[in-house]
Amino acid sequence: MIQIDHLSKSFAAVQAVKDITLSVEQGEIFGIIGPDGAGKTTLFRMLTSLMLPDSGSASVVGLDVVKDYKQLRQVIGYMPGRFSLYQDLTVEENLGFFAAVFGTSIRENYDLIAPIYSQIEPFKARRAGALSGGMKQKLALCCALIHKPEVLFLDEPGTGVDPVSRKEFWDMLGNLRKQGLTMLVSTPYMDEAELCSRVALMQKGEIMAIDTPKGITKAFQMPLYAVRSDNMYQLIKDLRTLDGMADCYAFGEFAHLKMLDTATPAKDVTTRIIGFLQAKNHRNIEIKPAAPTVEDCFIELMRN
Amino acid sequence: MTNVKNTITMNNNIISTDHLTKIFGKFTAVNAISFEVRKGEIFGFLGANGAGKTTALKMLTGLLMPTSGVATVAGYDVRKNPDQVKRRIGYMSQKFSLYEDLTVRENIRLFGGIYGLKMTEIRSKTTDLLQKLQLEPEADKLVGSLPLGWKQKLAFSVALLHDPQIVFLDEPTSGVDPITRRQFWELIYEAAAEGVTLMVTTHYMDEAEYCDRVSIMVDGKIEALDTPRAMKAGFQATDMDEVFRKLARGE
């Protein structure tokens, strides 16, 4: 559904997108995972025909993003990162406006948006600017869907949104996927990678890895341990001086410790580390082997 | 109520609120919250969008008058002595970083001057800060040309320039890459180890785990306040994300 070939874009001295190649299949939720400045928004703008690439090519539903931009815009939906609806129009007016622009009506495609729109319908006479963050997001999603697009582009829908609203939003995307919609979603939240069919990890304009979330974590080769003690700051500092340490960083309630040696059994490693930490006066030490997450992999790829 | 200040000194609390409330028209944004933050603590101030966190923070930083209730910050009543409060706190928001069209060195000098530091102090602090952040090669570059993560680290250090007793950090790591995010938290740990109190808001629930204690606001009230560990045990949750969901949506 989306085909990207050696796509590049620069702004003055900054290469925002560097030679990106990837393809997205029908019915996927494909995640572009990366921090601010990774080039996610620039990539989205080129794919939605809002910006011209410097080199390379891309097509969406078989339509070239440069040559066929007029037809392309009819078949895609785009929810930009910044709230871009009319703040001084009501909920219903905004939706009606977007439907009209695409030559359709709310009624015609109501089924598609019903599960989402029904949640904000009680407030349909309210101005969009007066909605809460979560409701604005739902309205923006309805407006991006009202013309029944084949591919939906969502640029950082979760940024600045609390964890509860984020989860609700992903539930909605899951439902849309069941109806066959193809989606490209960007996010700086690594934990959201698990909710995608496949992901591309992006940093400084480049893709560091493309795979299923499972495939990404499988590529993490070195042994990983979760360690904690009463003084986490000192713990991380001390672990960084441990023999055989490859990397150590905070990870939620634990510190993640990556070891170089893959041959030594975990039991022997943990015994050695406990001894090391006891000698440094750490208390309430806990250590266990940890399964790497997408975030661990992102950190590893960034370090290389 | 009259001896709130004395109680605080005795308890080693640097922030203390008693039924702190803010009402906008018919809407109660902050509803009679009472809590304490201890000196040197990393305190996570969590809540859903619209729960009242920002309004509460604005009152604690002396930017917004409470409708009722009391808040004492660094020994001063935010209603009676907002200027004294402002002198003793640092603030860093996600949006306002620094002046992008000034260099790193110029930003430090500007904020040092605003905080009333002497020129000699500014000079020595500039050297220390550049060294600590390993920003010496970038000292004369425009802040706008630095990567986001560096900007945020610099903004935090500038918020510490006048040796405040408390620093308020409003979503300091939003959108920052996983390595820089952790380096940022190491700066927070370091400041706490030096006795600075830090009050942090974040939407990353793994960061809630890095705090000594956290509070969770729901609809203007503080619904839970404890160490992350005790909170997870109390809610029978495996992580803070689950605690948050159970509290904020009653799942």
The model's confidence at residue B10, banded by pLDDT at 50, 70 and 90, is low
**Is the Cβ pair B178, A163 closer than 8 Å?**
no
**B178 → closest Cβ in A162, A236, A298:** A298
**A36 → closest Cβ in B148, B205, B228:** B148
**B177 → closest Cβ in A132, A203, A253:** A203
The model's confidence at residue A159, banded by pLDDT at 50, 70 and 90, is confident
With CA atoms as reference, the chain B residue closest to A250 would be: B182
Amino acid B11: pLDDT: 62
Amino acid B9: pLDDT: 47
Give the pLDDT confidence of B117-169 residue by residue, as tens digits.
Answer: 999 999 999 999 999 888 899 999 999 888 888 888 899 999 999 999 999 99
Distance from CA of B57 to the nearest CA of A (A): 17
As a whole number of angstroms, the distance between CA A57 and CA A44 comes to 13
Amino acid B7: pLDDT: 45
Greater model confidence, B5 or A156: A156
As a whole number of angstroms, the distance between CA A99 and CA A107 comes to 9
Amino acid B204: pLDDT: 86
Is B113's pLDDT higher than 50? yes
Q: Rounded to the nearest 5°, which phi and psi values hold at B87?
A: -65, -25
**A35 → closest Cβ in B177, B192, B193:** B177
As a whole number of angstroms, the distance between CA B67 and CA B59 comes to 10
Amino acid B86: pLDDT: 92
Greater model confidence, B247 or A227: A227
Per-residue pLDDT, averaged over B25-31, amounts to 94
pTM summary value = 0.87
Residues of chain A positioned with their CB less than 8 A from the CB of B229: 253
**B203 → closest Cβ in A36, A163, A298:** A163
Residues of chain A positioned with their CB less than 8 A from the CB of B189: 232-233
What is chain B's mean pLDDT, rounded?
90
Provide the percentage of residues in chain A whose pLDDT is more than 70.
100
Distance from CA of B179 to the nearest CA of A (A): 6
The model's confidence at residue B96, banded by pLDDT at 50, 70 and 90, is low
Residues of chain B positioned with their CB less than 8 A from the CB of A166: 203
Q: Which tokens hold the place of A235? A: 């713990």
Give the pLDDT confidence of A123-146 residue by residue, as tens digits.
Answer: 999 999 988 778 888 999 999 999
Residues of chain B positioned with their CB less than 8 A from the CB of A203: 177
As a whole number of angstroms, the distance between CA B72 and CA B91 comes to 17
Interface test with A, best of B94, B177, B182 (most A CBs within 10 A): B177
Amino acid B203: pLDDT: 84
Amino acid B247: pLDDT: 87
Give the pLDDT confidence of A67-125 residue by residue, as tens digits.
Answer: 999 999 999 999 998 888 999 999 999 999 999 999 999 999 898 899 999 989 999 99
Is B251's pLDDT higher than 80? no
Distances (CA, A) of B233 to A66, A226, B226, B236, B237: 55, 19, 11, 5, 7
Per the CB < 8 A criterion, the answer to whether A112 and A148 are in contact is: yes
Interface test with B, best of A15, A41, A162 (most B CBs within 10 A): A162
**Is the Cβ pair B245, A232 closer than 8 Å?**
no
**Is the Cβ pair A164, B244 closer than 8 Å?**
yes
Amino acid A68: pLDDT: 96
**B49 → closest Cβ in A34, A162, A298:** A162
Give the pLDDT confidence of B65-95 residue by residue, as tens digits.
Answer: 999 999 999 999 999 999 999 999 999 987 7
Is A220's pLDDT higher than 60? yes
Biggest CA–CA distance in chain B, Å, is 56
Mapped onto helix, strand or coil, the DSSP state of residue A91 is: helix
Neighbour-count burial for A45-79, b at 16+ CB within 10 Å, e otherwise: bbbbbebebeebebbbbebebeebeeebbebbbbb
The model's confidence at residue A292, banded by pLDDT at 50, 70 and 90, is very high
ipTM of the complex: 0.83
Is A166's pLDDT higher than 90? no
The letter for the amino acid at B74 is A
Distance from CA of A233 to the nearest CA of B (A): 6
Provide the percentage of residues in chain A whose pLDDT is more than 90.
83
CB proximity under 8 Å: B 195-214 to A: 203-206, 209-210
Per-residue pLDDT, averaged over A181-189, amounts to 95
Is A25's pLDDT higher than 70? yes
Please name the residues in contact with B18: beta carbons below 8 A apart, sequence gap of 6 or more: B1, B4, B34, B69, B70, B71
**Is the Cβ pair B47, A249 closer than 8 Å?**
no
Is B1's pLDDT higher than 50? no
As a whole number of angstroms, the distance between CA A44 and CA B220 comes to 37
Amino acid B38: pLDDT: 95
Greater model confidence, A163 or A201: A201
**Is the Cβ pair A159, B175 closer than 8 Å?**
yes
Amino acid B171: pLDDT: 87
Helix spans in B133-217 (H): 148-159, 178-193, 205-208
With CA atoms as reference, the chain B residue closest to A294 would be: B178
Amino acid A243: pLDDT: 94
**Is the Cβ pair A188, B193 closer than 8 Å?**
no
Neighbours of B72 (CB within 10 A): 25
Provide the percentage of residues in chain B whose pLDDT is more than 90.
71
Please name the residues in contact with A50: beta carbons below 8 A apart, sequence gap of 6 or more: none
